[in-house]
Structure 1
Amino acid sequence: MAPHARPATVRRRLACRAMWMIGRLIPQTSGLIPAEVWLCILRGSSNLSGPSNSPGDRIPFRAVYPIIPGRVTPHRKKPTHGVTWFYGRPRNIVGRTRKAGEPEDHRGWQGMMRETMKETSYRTLGRLPILGLLALVLPAAGCGILPDRTLSGPASQVIREGFDGIPRTRYGCYAAAIPGMTFLGSKLGSHNYHGPFFEKDGIAYTCRGGHIDITHLRIGIDWTAYLVAESYRHLMRNDPSFSCKMPVDRSRTHVHITYPFGWDCLSEEDRSAIAERIALALGPYLTFTMVSWHEITTWYGYKCIGLPVEYDSAFSWEDSYSNLLGTMIAVRALQDAEHSYNKAVTIAIDEEMQRLGVLPSAGQARLASKSMKGQWYTGIFLLLFDMKKRNFDIGLDDGDMTPTLVPHVPQCPRAEPQSYPVPTLDVLAEYGFSVTIEIEPREWEKDKILRVVFGNDPQKRINPQTHLAIIMDHIQQEAAAKYGPEYNPGNRLHEPQYVQTGR
């Protein structure tokens, strides 16, 4: 430190240089920070009401110029008061060249700085709409502004540490070969919990799983992982209940937990191990229940984004199976103690898609869908589109879900559908736990659904363990009236989309 330099002056110099570096990295910074804040930094005081003439408050020029990058360039010669040098020519600090014979500006550095920062702020106002748009678009796309500490460690730590926020919102596709629909091959990119970067979303086709909506797959994965961590957290805190909801739905799911006798007497290690097993069952079950409820509300007219075509997505032939795959893949990824969460999910997705026999190119997936045009769906445009093929199998009859396969796909000779069990809560009884789950409908269409279950009885909540079968039976009867008797739940055809609901 120079002998004549005061500590306060040095601190102010360092602060200004730091802000100058920020201004270089983020050009909008210098214009968005009010002039009073800069002056407060320069003077080292919060009192900005009057001039300061004490020697300690006379700021050296080298402490002033960095905060106006691109406007003032220092010169090796010491400038006169209120004047700097720009390529050897005398200029006022505000950036205007002093004309010959013009008197020197004696407003002092404070007045000049206020005028300069005001001018810079006005110039930056034009950037505010862009910044505001980014502030809305990035969170809407699910982009995390700050890094999630959980994503840097092994995926198995997610259960106990949780995420910094809920999964981002994603919107799926239709498995129909119409303009605007994205089809994929075997290259699905890298999974990303917070942002869409490096991901690929769309419709792929597999020989043993039929069409897979990769967006629904990722929704099931991230929500399962999130709810596993949330369930673990509430179990370790002995919470008697908690609730959750997806941003695309208005309904809220309530979970009531009954703990076994002596739960509080167990060691922390034993409680953690048991809570982890319970959470690995509760998370997938809650996720699959919530996404199935979304299909139900959509069938009865609920519109997430306000488009009339959303009804066509209700129980479309690929949705529920894609959701189920997501819950399964999440459980596998959460047991990976070697890779980070996003990497573990990426690996698990690729392995499962290869197991199901994914077609390598997007063109092949599109052709598989195009071959069913006129039979499974009609229309050539999103708003002029009618979905005729549905799969109402959500495992209520035998506990398994079977996908719908496109017949006669050249790349899939003699392919058989791969059935998987739906999530259950059987493991809870092994440890003496019991859970009651209730859905509180909040959609405008809720009265239609409640009337199916309760008639005129003014009940407000749905118990999925007992009421989903009643609702699905009614939905299939409506489908039979609209699309044909093959959807009637009384018929037992060989195709899985016509199975009984278990009522």
Structure 2
Amino acid sequence: MKLKIVLLSCIYLFSPLSYAEKSEPKNEVDVVVDAPSGLRPCCAFGINMKSKLSIIPVPFFRVNNIVEVSDLASHHYNDGTQGVMASLAGNAEELNGLIYTSRGGIIDTAHVRDTGDNTFYLYNQIRGNLGIEMQRVLEAELRERVINLYPIPFDFNAQEQLKAEINLSGILAFRLAQWHEAAQWFGFTSVAGFKEYPSAYSPEDLYSNMLGAIIAMEIIEANPDLTLADYQIQYPIAFLKHLKELGAQDGARTKEVMDGLDGHWWDSKKRLPDKWVVKTRDYQPRLTITPHWGDSDERETLSLEPYAYLEKWGDATFVATNHERHFKALPAQLTNKSTWTVADLSDIAAFAKAADDKEKLSNNHLIKGQ
């Protein structure tokens, strides 16, 4: 839902409707960790981007997506739909955007935080329940997103079980991020009437998502009993540490890199929500990711592959709803299935890539090996 800030701004400019702002947080001792609802309003892949409402250009409105490390010291769990108008006004406590790192390429901080929050939520559901049958149905994104735990015995000791539950939470949160990319390509909307095509399979997304899961797994492992308040304090500390290790750069360097990618990876001449604002996409739903950009050959590869074996105890599935018309172009081997598993994500991504490769505006050849 990276386009939400753009789309809601258009509505805000041309409509009398108002949007309620997030209220002050309650005392978070003993607060139940609810499932994140919606994703953070943030960043299409580009800078100083223009937007339009339907076919009408929106004057004087551009999205400046660049942030500095110093902007990222606050983190608010589930800061999606609740903080939209604060983001528009520029006075949100939690800020998000793109930041260039010399070892991790371009990081979308909203994606980092969203997958971190999903990891923390799933950990609170999974902890102590490994090997027990359980199901959690999450907010639909064209299809219902369902987290399943299976009654499969294990021989872990207590410490190993805890570690397994933390790692399973991270990989399942990342699976949700993989699905989100597919749902956007097929027309998922978080604001009625506005497709999120530019965000689908955006080349920085999944690396950022995986980084978010890894950060959350790290802070949970350090303090398995952390409360929601603890999580909101610890997450930005760990995030800033990882950004430093990845060689985070200042805003001027991020702008320089993004300007260099203009016309190849993204197109500043297009207006959001035109799909071809983003010209080069990364479709492959893998568990090991090397960034597409960096200042040296020492790019930092991230991987959740070592934890894939845990998915026999729990997995993410995507169950048919009344929105199946969005998927009618898919081959019958997929449309005939009421439940998709993560194994189907590769076929769905391959279909999307094949369709986009036929478009003259696509530059997908810039990503080798997909």
TM-score range (shorter-chain normalised) is: 0.7 to 0.9
Query: What code does the residue aligned with 1:255 have?
Result: N
Gaps of 5+ in 2: 1-16, 50-61, 84-91
The whole-number CA distance in structure 1 between the counterparts of 2:254 and 2:246 is 14
1:240 aligns with 2:133: yes
Query: C-alpha displacement at 1:289, in angstroms?
Result: 1.0
Counterparts in 2 of 1:368-387, with a 5 A limit?
A: 368-378=257-267, 379-383=269-273, 386-387=277-278
State the AA in 1 paired with 2:68. G
Amino acid of the structure 1 residue aligned with 2:302? Y
Separation of aligned partners in 2, 1:440 and 1:480: 28
Q: Give the equivalent residue in structure 1 for 2:358.
A: 481
Q: Which has the higher strand share?
A: 2
Give the secondary structure class of the aligned counterpart of 1:243. Answer: strand
Between structure 1 and structure 2, the one with the greater Rg is: 1
Q: Which has the bigger relative contact order, CA under 8 A and spacing at least 6? A: 2
How far apart are 1:366 and its partner, in Å?
Answer: 2.3
Alpha-carbon distance, 1:174 to partner: 1.2
Q: Is the 8 A contact 1:225 1:330 kept in 2?
A: yes
Distance 1:486 1:225 in 2: 36
Tell me what 2:338 maps to. Answer: 460
Query: How many Å apart are 1:439 and its aligned residue?
Result: 1.5
TM-score by structure 1 length?
A: 0.57
* Equivalence for 2:87: none
SS in structure 2 of the partner of residue 219 of structure 1: helix
Change (3 A) 1:316 1:445: farther
Residue 164 and residue 284 in structure 1: after superposition, are their counterparts in 2 closer, same or farther (change >3 A)? closer
The one of 171, 196, 203 aligned to 2:41: 171
| Residue in structure 1 matching 2:256, options 345, 354, 367 | 367
Q: Structure 1, unaligned stretches of length 5 or more?
A: 1-132, 152-162, 407-411, 489-494
Q: Deviations over 1:475-500 (max 9, x none)?
A: 22122212589748xxxxxx6x3434
- Which residue number in structure 2 is paired with residue 318 of structure 1? 204
Deviates more, 1:419-428 or 1:345-354: 419-428
Tell me if the contact between 2:132 and 2:152 (Cα under 8 Å) persists in the aligned partners. Answer: no
Instruction: Provide the alpha-carbon RMSD of the alignment.
Output: 3.3
* Alignment partner, residue 147 of structure 1: 27
Equivalents in 2 of 1:483, 1:334: separation in Å? 46
| Equivalent-residue separation in structure 2 for 1:328 and 1:441 (angstroms) | 30
Moved more, 171-180 or 326-335: 171-180
Aligned mates of 1:446, 1:333 — CA distance in 2: 41
Q: What is the SS of the residue equivalent to 1:335? A: helix
**Pair 1:282–1:249, CA change in 2 (3 A):** farther
Residue matched to 1:296: 182
Q: Is the 8 A contact 1:403 1:418 kept in 2?
A: yes
8 Å Cα contact 2:128/2:162 also seen in 1:
no
- Compared CA separation, residues 382 and 176, structure 1 to 2 (3 A): same
The aligned amino acid for 1:282 is: L
Please give the per-residue CA displacement for 1:251-301, whole angstroms capped at 9, x wherever unaligned. 22141412317x8xx9xxx55x44422321221121111111111011122
Give the superposition deviation at 1:344.
1.7
Post-superposition offset of 1:443:
6.2
Return the offset for 1:166: 2.5
TM-score by length of 2: 0.75
Q: CA deviation at 1:327?
A: 0.6
Aligned length: 322
Corresponding residue to 1:348 among 204, 228, 238: 238
Alignment deviations for residues 430-463 of structure 1 (CA, whole Å, 9 cap, x no partner)? xxx634542114362566269436256x320001
Q: Residue in 1 aligned with 2:192?
A: 306
